[in-house]
Every structure is written in C-alpha cells, then in structure tokens.
C-alpha cells in the first residue's frame, strides 16, 4: 500500500458514499474522529427538528394527532425506521427513554430470580452505567451485587473470549447482559452464538447496542435475542441526549413491563384512564413516560439517510476506513510506541480503532490542539472513529501524519498526562 496522500485521494475519489459528507456540518479546520461518542449534525436531522418545532407552533396540543409526524405515534414510527438496522420486526422496536432507563426497564421485566438462579452475568469491560444499573436492580431485589453480579473476565484487558462467556453460564445465572461491541476496544461479540448457548441453558439474554447500532448489521430476531437497548447519539447521529431505543423479541409480547407507565398502554385504551393497565402488544409496552418529541425529532432525518444508504454499505466503508488507518499506523507510527489494541479481523472489529500508548492522555490533548478530535479512554487508550457517512480517507492520512509529527517533535510533552473533566 502507498503511504503518500495520493492513495488517500484515490480512495476518496472511488468512494460511493462521499456525497453524504456534504450533508453534515463538518469543519474545514477540524478532523472529527469522535463519532462513536457523538455523531455530527446533518442538514436532514436539523430540518427534522425544525419540522417538529413547526408542528408545535402550528397545531399546539393537536400536534399529538395531526401534522406530518403526529407525536402520539412518533416513537413507533422511529422504531419501524430503526428495525432494519438490527434485523428486527417493526413492532419489536420502540424509540424511548435512554440507555440506562431502558436497561432498568428491561432488567425489571426479565430478571426473575428463582431457586438457584439469582445472579446476573455481565462482563468486566462493560460501560460503567450498565454495571450501576444492574447493581441497583440486584439491590432492589435484596441481593448483594458483590456476590450476585458475575463478571466475565478478560485475559488481555481489552477483549472477551466467547468460550469464557459460555463457561460463566452456570445454573445460578438468571439473566445475561453484554455489549454488542465493547466500547473501548471495539470488539464485536458473537451475539448469535452467545444467545444460542444462553437459551440452551434456559437463560434470558440482552445486549447493549450503543456501539454497534448504525455501525454493523445485526439479525436480532433471527438470532432470537430476548431484548436489546441502545443510545442514538453515536452512529445514528441523533444529537446530544437524543432519545434511546429498545428491542423486545415478539415472543415476549405477552409479558407485562416491569416498570409500567402511561405510555406502556395499548394506544386504543390509553385515554380510557383506567387504573388497570392494558399493555401494548408490541415493544411499546416497555415505554414508561411521554415521548421526548423534540429530542427524538432529529432521528427522522438521520434514520432516513441511513435507510437510503443501507447498513451494509455503511459497514463496508467503515471497514475500509479502519483498515486503512491500521495500515498507516503500522507503517508510520510503530516506532513511536503505539499498539493497535482493537481486533484486526473484519468479522470482529467494530467502527473504531483503539490505540494504546503510555502517554495517551497528553497525546489526545496535543491532537485536539492541532484540530483533530479523538477520544481518550483511561488508562492509556486513544479511540479513533473515522465514520463512513462524513469522514474521508484523506482525513485519516492527515491525522496519521499529524500524530507522527507530534511524536517526532515530542510536542505532546507540553500537556499533562491526565484526562480532562470529560474524556
């Protein structure tokens, strides 16, 4: 592979998705490689938000049932638009809540300790919010999380072995919660194999898709995953604090939600105002409160764009971008002490590259001071996410050259090797 800029330009010229970059608010003096934390704003998302604001302006309270996107059905509409991204039926998906509130809801609904089965299986590499929620749910049921939250151990600090996960599925496990993609290393777990193994042992299983939805294809319904949950502000580009989402396999539609609320109702009966809940016969039963209409609005534009492109095409370019980045790191940065800590294989690599370096925190600060937005992860990780919808191969090349210059000149030493308030 050529390491000069001509190769990057050639790849950009051949990129069928290059036109979509024009729809995002990018900056000519900044390279944004943090789309796996917060995706950029697109003109379609912006227009969708203004559309919903206009419906409020025009219709007032009648906006719940009138206008182009009646608010009363917005969560279901967005769920149907999301379903193809995770290989689900439209009625199995609802856009609601947040990652953690949805995890609380799903754990309350599917964690039923009985007999020996009183423990929840998670992993030691999971995002802290998931662990906090699971600890809370155990405590609410009178269990000590120290004993009843079992964590699959990692052998290298970055990845999980499928065999280790399966070995931890003992007769004491009542529920399993795992990430689809690990937030640090970007490893894709074998969700199909793990789900099959869990069900063979009579264990319900759910996945956190925050780092996989919009980045990789899924087939949740075919895999018979029991449930899943996610945020929408990373690869779905829904905006800061945008509404989360959840999936519940239709075989569980007869189950009442563990945390019921008014919007858990069958919509035909919701305004009967009865004190006995008639839950919706779809994923909508797992809603709790009133939809956050304005926080969900940008997804109308974002999901329209993603549907137009197709998740397979997005995945294809993402793999090419990260492969190109890894090749350049190997050839240009190896001598400066960088280690590629994410899986290299296409089949188990998510949407970002994870570099490790002893000076990672100060290197990230130096990159940011020079117009590159990376993401530091304690203790020594640098996440770089070239996003298929708006990043280019030329940006990848430019970032590597800048990083090489920072290391060669040791300009990173001007910064403290300590994370900021937000890393």
Q: Is 290 annotated as a binding residue?
A: yes
Q: Is 163 annotated as a binding residue?
A: no
Q: Is 4 annotated as a binding residue?
A: no
Q: Is 262 annotated as a binding residue?
A: yes
Q: Is 128 annotated as a binding residue?
A: yes
Q: Is 99 annotated as a binding residue?
A: yes
Q: Is 208 annotated as a binding residue?
A: yes
In the 3-class helix/strand/coil scheme, how is the chain assigned residue by residue? CCCCHHHHHHHHHCCCCHHHHHHECCCCCCEECECCCCCCCEHHHHHHHHHHHHHHHHHHHHHHCCCCCCHHHHHHHHHHHHHHHHCCCHHHEEECCCHHHHHHHHHHHHCCCECCECEEEEECCCCHHHHHHHHHHHHHCCCCHHHHEEEECCCCCCCCCHHHHHHCCCCCEEEEEEECECCCCCEECCHHHHHHHHHHCCCEEEEECCCCCCCCCCCHHHHCCCEEEECCCCCCCCCCCCCCEEEECHHHCCCCCCCCCHHHECCCCHHHCCCCCCECCCHHHHCCCCCCHHHHCHHHHHHHHHHHHCHHHHHHHHHHHHHHHHHHHHHHCHHHCCEECCCCCHHHECCCEEEECCCHHHHHHHHHHCCEECEEECCCEEEEECCCCCCCHHHHHHHHHHHHHHHHHCHHHHCCCCCCCCC
Q: Which residues are annotated as a binding site for pyridoxal 5'-phosphate?
A: 99-100, 127-130, 208, 211, 233, 262, 290
Q: Which residues are annotated as a binding site?
A: 99-100, 127-130, 208, 211, 233, 262, 290
């Amino acid at each position: 592979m050529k390491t000069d800029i001509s190769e990057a330009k050639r790849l950009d010229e051949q990129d069928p998705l290059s036109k979509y970059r024009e729809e995002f608010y990018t900056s000519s003096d900044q390279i944004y490689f943090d789309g796996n934390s917060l995706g950029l704003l697109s003109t379609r998302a912006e227009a969708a938000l203004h559309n919903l604001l206009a419906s409020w302006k025009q219709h007032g309270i009648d906006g719940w049932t009138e206008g182009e996107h009646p608010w009363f059905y917005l969560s279901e509409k967005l769920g149907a638009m999301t379903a193809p991204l995770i290989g689900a039926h439209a009625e199995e998906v609802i856009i609601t809540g947040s990652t953690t509130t949805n995890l609380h809801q799903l754990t309350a609904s599917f964690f039923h300790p009985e007999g020996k089965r009183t423990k929840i299986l998670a992993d030691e590499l999971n995002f802290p919010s998931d662990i906090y929620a699971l600890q809370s749910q155990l405590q609410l049921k009178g269990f000590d999380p120290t004993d009843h939250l079992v964590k699959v151990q990692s052998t290298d600090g970055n990845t999980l072995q499928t065999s280790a996960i399966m070995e931890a599925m003992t007769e004491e496990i009542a529920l399993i919660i795992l990430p689809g993609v690990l937030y640090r290393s970007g490893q894709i777990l074998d969700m199909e194999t793990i789900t099959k193994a869990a069900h063979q042992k009579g264990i319900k299983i759910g996945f956190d898709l925050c780092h996989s939805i919009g980045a990789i294809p899924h087939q949740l319904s075919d895999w018979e995953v029991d449930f899943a949950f996610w945020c929408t502000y990373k690869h779905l580009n829904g905006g800061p604090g945008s509404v989360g989402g959840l999936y519940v396999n239709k075989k569980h539609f007869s189950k009442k939600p563990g945390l019921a609320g008014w919007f858990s109702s069958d919509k035909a009966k919701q305004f009967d105002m009865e004190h006995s809940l008639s839950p919706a016969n779809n994923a909508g039963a797992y809603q709790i409160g009133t939809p956050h209409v304005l926080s969900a609005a940008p997804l109308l534009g974002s999901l329209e764009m993603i549907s137009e492109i197709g998740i397979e095409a997005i995945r294809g370019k993402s793999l090419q971008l990260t492969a190109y980045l890894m090749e350049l790191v190997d050839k240009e940065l190896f001598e400066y002490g960088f280690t590629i800590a994410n899986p290299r294989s296409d089949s188990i690599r998510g949407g970002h590259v994870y570099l490790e370096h002893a000076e990672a925190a100060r290197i990230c600060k130096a990159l940011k001071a020079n117009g590159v937005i990376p993401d530091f992860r304690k203790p020594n990780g640098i996440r770089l996410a070239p996003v298929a919808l708006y990043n280019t191969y030329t940006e990848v090349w430019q970032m590597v050259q800048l990083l090489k210059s920072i290391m060669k000149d040791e300009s990173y030493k001007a910064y403290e090797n300590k994370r900021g308030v937000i890393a």
